Amino acid sequence: MAVLENHTFDIATFLAKAGLGRRIVQLAPKQTFFSQGDPADSVFYLQNGRARVTVVSAIGKEATITLVSEGEFVGEGALAAIPGLRLSTATAITACSALKIGRDEMIHAMHEEQSFSDLFMKFLLSRSMRIQADLVDQLFNSSEKRLARILLLMAEFGQSSKPQTLIPKISQETLAEMIGTTRSRVSFFMNRFRDLGFIDYKDRIHVHRSLLNVVLHDQLPDGNAESPL
């Protein structure tokens, strides 16, 4: 186990480089960081790329729990007091580079380094608030509004950094899985958003700030059309 000295510890270096108890992993789109039912023995820090966390029910129905962006952790459930199995699956949406940190090393770093512990606790609070918002979105919003929110999240509107309005390449099938609807509905909604000037898309989707009006003010003509004519 690595010995971390307070006067030399640097969070950025710790999360950027491999070392004792941690290594860099590269994932292609659709490759998994871990799968539901795997041993929960590590935490991943996403250095580059985008990923999503999903769960599958006993009858095979999949639901997206949250999206993961650069600079966030995934698999934090491994830090539970009693080691167990993964309750979800984390899958790369785009090509990803991540630091895989062993459970013991992660716990050691948190115990020994207050600054790292503070950083991780801030992330956990932010993740908890995001999941609550996702739950409200699934319970109360139409599939059209859920699609708008997913596009805004992928474009990182509302984050402290400048929005990346050109989002990573993603298929309509994947978007349909993420919001719990069909590909035909996603295609209909995407065309509708484009006609209204909220997005542009060809090979990749360009999200305009005006799409925020769909989520914040429900500004869609003729209500929220749930399916194509």
Per-10-residue mean pLDDT of the chain, 229 residues long, equals: 57 93 95 96 96 89 86 94 88 95 95 94 91 80 89 75 74 86 94 93 87 75 50
CA torsion through residues 12, 16, 17, 18, sign? positive
CA torsion through residues 209, 151, 179, 126, sign? negative
User: In order of start, what are the domains of the chain with their CATH numbers?
Assistant: 11-137 (2.60.120.10), 142-216 (1.10.10.10)
What is the model's pLDDT at position 227? 45
What is the model's pLDDT at position 4? 45
Query: Are 96 and 52 a contacting pair, CB within 8 Å?
Result: no
What is the model's pLDDT at position 162? 62
What is the model's pLDDT at position 222? 59
What is the model's pLDDT at position 82? 78
Q: Quote the pTM value.
A: 0.78
What is the model's pLDDT at position 215? 77
What is the model's pLDDT at position 139? 79
Give me the residue label for tokens 């962006």: 69
Please choose, from the candidates 215, 220, 96, 48, the residue with its C-alpha nearest in 3D space to the C-alpha of residue 146.
215
What are the backbone dihedrals phi and psi of residue 42, each rounded to the nearest 5 degrees, phi first?
-160, 165
What is the model's pLDDT at position 5? 46
What is the model's pLDDT at position 164? 64
Q: What is the 3-state secondary structure (H, E, C) of the chain?
A: CCCCCCCCCCHHHHHHCCECCEEEEEECCCCEEECCCCECCEEEEEEECCEEEEEECCCCCEEEEEEECCCCEECHHHHCCCCCECCCEEEECCCEEEEEEEHHHHHHHHHHCHHHHHHHHHHHHHHHHHHHHHHHHHHHCCHHHHHHHHHHHHCCCCCCCCCCCECCCCCHHHHHHHHCCCHHHHHHHHHHHHHCCCEEECCCEEECHHHHHHHHCCCCCCCCCCCCC
